[in-house]
Homo-oligomer: A and B are copies of this chain.
Amino acid sequence: LFFPSRPCCLEALLNEAAAPGEPARPCPCPLPRGDTSLSRLVRRLLSARRSLDLCIFSFSCPQLARAVHLLHRRGVRVRLVTDAQYMGLHGSQIGRLRHAGIQVRHDQHSGYMHHKFAIVDQRMLITGSLNWTTQAIQSNRENVLVVDDAECVKPFLDEFERIWEEYNPANYSF
C-alpha cells in the first residue's frame, strides 16, 4: 500500500465493524467513499479475531484509533507499544486508547521506539514507513507492506514480545 491516500469517508466501514448486520446509517459528510490505501489498511486491521500487537512510533490518526478501540471492545486482545516522547504530543491518541482500557507500554530510553508495525492474529504483519498520523496518511509519500509469510512475521513477533517485556513497568529502573 502506498500513500498519500486521498481523503475518504470510513464511516460505513467502521459502523459495519462496530455493529455487523445493522442497517447502515448513511454518513452525511461530503468525503468520497470507495477504496483507498487507508481503507485497505483499516480493513486489514479490522480482520483481527484474536489479537492485535501494535508497535507505533507516532499515533494520532483518529480513524485508526477508532478501529483499534473497536477491536478492543469486540474482545480482541490489543497490546500497544509506543514512543515515550511522542505519546504525549498534542493530538496523540494513546491517552484515549489507554483510558479505554487498552494495555499500553512505552520505551524509557533516549532513542526512539521508531517501529511502525502491527501484527494481526500473530499471522499478518503490517509494516512500513507510515506513522499513524493524518499528516502521514494524507500528505507524505509512504509505504506499508502486508505480509503473511511466517518466515517474515516470526522475527517481528519475537521483537514485539522482547519489547513488550523490556518495557514492562515492573522492570522500570528509576
In chain A, residues 35-74, which have Cβ atoms closer than 8 Å to a Cβ of chain B? Answer: 55, 57
In the complex, the answer to whether A140 meets B111 with C-beta atoms within 8 Å is: yes
In the complex, the answer to whether B107 meets A141 with C-beta atoms within 8 Å is: yes
Given contacts A143-B156, A163-B141, A111 and B129 within 8 Å (CB-CB): no
In the complex, the answer to whether B129 meets A143 with C-beta atoms within 8 Å is: no
The complex places the Cα of A128 from the Cα of B55 at a distance, in Å, of: 13
Whole-angstrom distance from the CB of A152 to the nearest CB of chain B? 7
In the complex, the answer to whether B117 meets A141 with C-beta atoms within 8 Å is: no
In chain A, residues 103-136, which have Cβ atoms closer than 8 Å to a Cβ of chain B? Answer: 107, 109-117, 127-130, 135-136
Among A111, A129, A147, A159, residue most surrounded by chain B Cβ atoms (within 10 Å): A129
A128: chain B residues within 8 A (beta carbon) = 127-129
| Majority-rule SS of A interface residues | mixed
The complex places the Cα of A147 from the Cα of B127 at a distance, in Å, of: 13
A130: chain B residues within 8 A (beta carbon) = 114
Given contacts A2-B155, A111-B4, A155-B2, A116 and B141 within 8 Å (CB-CB): no
Judge if A100 is at the interface, Cβ distance under 8 Å: no
A11: chain B residues within 8 A (beta carbon) = none
Judge if A168 is at the interface, Cβ distance under 8 Å: no
A135: chain B residues within 8 A (beta carbon) = 111
The complex places the Cα of A129 from the Cα of B116 at a distance, in Å, of: 7
The complex places the Cα of A128 from the Cα of B129 at a distance, in Å, of: 6
Which of B114, B143, B156 is close to A136, meaning CB atoms less than 8 Å apart? B114
